[in-house]
Amino acid sequence: MGLPNIDASKLTKTLTAKPKELVDQKKLAFGKNFTDHMLCIKYTEDGGWEAPEIKPYGPLEIDPAAFALNYSVQTFEGMKAYRSADGTINLFRPEKNMQRLATSSQRIMLPEFDQEQFLQCIKELVRVDERFVPNEYGYSLYIRPNFIGTEDNLNLQYSREALLYVYLSPVGPYFPRTVKLHANTKEVRAWPGGVGNFKLGGNYAPALRPTMEVVREGYDQILWLLGDDHYVTEVGTMNFFIFWTNSEGEKELVTAPLDGIILPGVTRDSLLELARKWGEFKVSERKVTMPEVLKALEEDRMLEAFGAGTACVVCSVSEVLYNSKTYQIPVDPSNPNAVFGPLTMRLRKELLDIQYAKTPSPWSVPI
Ligand code: COI
């Protein structure tokens, strides 16, 4: 018989003695408030997975020599729980997050885990902290699974102990307006043969300094380019989409392909599938370069650009700074105050309607 895997039927619960007060929903910023409880599941190479525990939210006890703290043996996910108009709570395609967490953890030698059982435990955590799930469209409960190597060992091998833990944060919009991007021609986020396609914390830390430089200049995020031809890759917090009339004169929605440097976003995948189902224009996953974008802008062929991700949902991009020049990206030519372009708005609405179970869909999974 093998060692025990995660078993949701063994989950234990210790409830908090000090329930938190709910924050006024309208004041919810992204990722600043946390709920009463968290889920922890420990692993050791000799003993396998221990019984999952739901316990009061609080600090973790972790050895200073742990792999996670020294060598970034850490991966995470971003998911959300949505309250629908009838009060029921759903997750959105959670099996995609479980699969991606498994793929990311393999890359950094963290142990295998039973994805279905882990998901059952996450659902139970959301049920325990159900009162924190906002009831307003556009607001949700962000779910952050984390997987870390906890063995205290400075040998650069692999962590023989690990911790899967999950905490929850009621959230409002990440970007409550259109987004301004600064195309980075100095640093790169990811490169062929690297790890940009895995959701590792180690991909995010090196983006902080360059990001803060552009934030100080009034931009929201970096548009990461790669190579001498300035291949337009992604934003780091979100995948990047362009809607244009391409150089062949066809209407096309295009985003970078999953070529090893792009994070395989669940929102990215869902929008591509929705747009393909409509069948109204070409939908492509292919490489586009910054000079092609500039040419499209010059020739008035650019229709919209937007970012997409779990945290930020779908948000229009209104400006890109590239090689010290500012380029305005059309949002909605019929409305100068528009926060979303017409296609961006349509995709966003279709997605949110599924997430809030207004439109029935197998993507919506009850807790
Ligand atoms: C998410 O969209 O869930 C993410 O993990 C992005 C994060 C940088 C907020």
Q: Flag whether 361 is in a domain.
A: no
pLDDT digits (tens, 9 = 90+) for 38-57: 999 999 999 999 999 999 99
- Bridge partner list, 44: 48, 161
Distance separating alpha carbons of residues 191 and 224, to the nearest angstrom = 11
- At which of 149, 172, 195 does a domain end? 172
Task: Evaluate whether residue 367 is within a structural domain.
Answer: no
Ligand 1 centroid – CA 157 distance (Å): 28
Q: Residues 118, 56: one domain?
A: yes
In a domain, 360, yes or no: no
Q: Which residues line ligand 1 (CB under 6 A)?
A: 78, 237, 309-311
User: Domain end: 172, 206, 222, which one?
Assistant: 172
Which of these three, 144, 172, 200, is where a domain ends?
Answer: 172
CATH assignment of the domain containing 341: 3.20.10.10
Domain that holds residue 19: 8-172
- pLDDT at residue 39, as a whole number: 99
Do the domain assignments include residue 366?
no
3 falls within a domain: no
Q: Are residues 158 and 247 in the same domain?
A: no
pLDDT band at 29 (very low <50, low <70, confident <90, very high): confident
Q: Give the confidence band of 269 by pLDDT, cuts at 50, 70, 90.
A: very high
User: Does residue 44 sit within a domain?
Assistant: yes
Query: Exposed/middle/buried for 35, CB within 10 Å: 0-12, 13-18, 19+?
Result: buried
Distance 277 CA to ligand 1 centre (A): 26
Is 333 in the same domain as 188? yes
Q: For ligand 1, atom 7, which residue shows the shortest CA distance?
A: 237
**What does residue 178 show for φ and ψ, rounded to 5 degrees?**
-70, 160
Do 187 and 320 belong to one domain? yes
Q: What is the pLDDT of residue 176?
A: 83
362 domain-assigned: no
Question: Same domain for 127 and 227?
Answer: no
What pLDDT digit, counting tens, does each position of 211-235 carry?
A: 999 999 999 999 999 999 999 999 9
| Ligand 1 pocket test target in 263, 310, 313 with most atoms within 8 Å of CB | 310
Q: Which atom of ligand 1 is nearest to the CA of 174?
A: 9
Q: What predicted TM-score, i.e. pTM, was given to this entire model? A: 0.97
Pocket test for ligand 1, best of 168, 198, 204, 237 (most atoms within 8 A of CB): 237
